[in-house]
Structure 1
Amino acid sequence: MVILDTFYDSSTFTYFVLPFLIFLSRILDVTIGTIRIVMVSKGQKLWAPFLGFFEVFIWLVAISKIFQDLDNWACYFAYAGGFATGNYIGLIIEEKLAVGIVKIQIITRKEAASLISNLKGSGYGITHHNARGGSESVSIIYSIIKRTEIQKVERIVKETNPNAFYSIEDVKSVSRGVYHPKPVRRRMRKGK
């Protein structure tokens, strides 16, 4: 026990180990907080409070260690660095989780029939109409998709019409409709 007390009072612990632990705890609590905010915006009523509990618990532990040693500037830098790093890691994790659904809006000057056909053929529900963009006629295509499907839809758009403009927006909820690809089944004729 005497060895631990000596270690806790050493400059190695005060200026290296403690700031490193604060840095790691800030990364963890801010990452959890970033994911919690996404869950709140997506209406995930069970995940948000669960994550919030751990976020605040970890934050309290980190901030209490800083208040115990207010003259230690290394802890301040570790706290700020952990906050910045936690935001970055939280956004990367959120991107990988791809929770929820989005609306993709595609605007194309080129004839949209082949793009519409390719999207429908891949199982995506779409709505489209013709419009006027400046002095040109354009086609506007809308689809509600799972966030995990964004890259697949982008690939279809780029392969079919690389010059198409598209935007993607978060959607909190939908009442009904086709917003995920369904397996395309080919009907077989009898006797073949």
Structure 2
Amino acid sequence: MEILSINFWEGNLFSYVVLPLLIFFARISDVTVGTLRIVMVSKGQKLIAPLLGFFEVVIWLVTMSKIIQNIDNWVAYVAYGAGFATGNYIGLIIEEKLAVGIVQLQIITRKSADNLIAKLKASGYGITHHEAQGANEKVAVIYTIIKRNELKKVLEIMRTYNPKAFYSIEDVKSISKGVPGFVKPELRWRKGK
């Protein structure tokens, strides 16, 4: 029984199937965690980012030690690269689903924005708006800062009241205390002077 066990760990099945699969899944894990860590750094999450960094590096070190131990195994290299690519993809999907942070939404509409403005206010969103001159006509410009996970709801309101409006979305790292009602209270985590 012991001989069979030794043969498995040193055999072709382990070297060219099991080990590459382990490397593939380990690489998916560390790159996914790394992608989330980068997102947390950009959002200013000072506690979560270092914790994710710790796990990312530990997984990477274990994976690299197996690559070095099996330096002549080309299948392990392919698994390493495939895991990296897959980890990036999965990390971005998870980041999108988590919808961490806040964004600034700017809406520019040619059509009258009065109904859209009223609906956004009635839905509890703080907005700032003004008239502006577009390339060929007057436009309304609306700004709002919202939690990223509420973006879909706000865009649906916009599409209902002004379906042809132009909009842009920017990530916001931090906000300061502003005019009451401008930002929902749960967004005010950093007070300005």
TM-score (normalizing by structure 2)? 0.91
The aligned residue for residue 113 of structure 2 is: 112
Offset at 1:176?
1.9
Partner secondary structure for residue 70 of structure 1: coil
Q: Aligned pairs, how many?
A: 182
The aligned residue for residue 186 of structure 1 is: none
| Worse-superposed segment, 27-36 or 4-13 | 4-13
Offset at 1:6?
1.2
Which one-letter code corresponds to 1:163 in the other structure? K
User: Could you give the per-residue CA deviations for residues 123-171 of structure 1, whole angstroms, max 9, x where no partner exists?
Assistant: 0000001111112100100000000100000000000010001011100
User: Match for 1:179 among 176, 183, 187?
Assistant: 183
Partner secondary structure for residue 175 of structure 1: coil
Alpha-carbon separation, structure 2, partners of 1:88 and 1:69: 27
- Computed over aligned residues only, the root mean square deviation of the Cα atoms, in angstroms, reads 1.3
Alpha-carbon separation, structure 1, partners of 2:142 and 2:37: 32
Q: Is residue 2:44 matched to residue 1:43?
A: yes
The aligned residue for residue 97 of structure 1 is: 98
Query: Contact (CA 8 Å) 1:102, 1:170: kept in 2 or not?
Result: yes
Offset at 1:5?
1.7
The aligned residue for residue 146 of structure 2 is: 145
Offset at 1:119?
0.4
Offset at 1:35?
0.3
Which one-letter code corresponds to 2:183 in the other structure? Y
Alignment of 1:5-154 (within 5 A): 5-154=6-155
The unaligned stretches of length 5 or more in structure 1 are 183-192
The unaligned stretches of length 5 or more in structure 2 are 187-193
1:94–1:43 CA distance, 2 compared to 1 (3 A): same
Alpha-carbon separation, structure 2, partners of 1:4 and 1:129: 74
Query: Contact (CA 8 Å) 1:122, 1:181: kept in 2 or not?
Result: no
Identity over aligned pairs, percent: 65
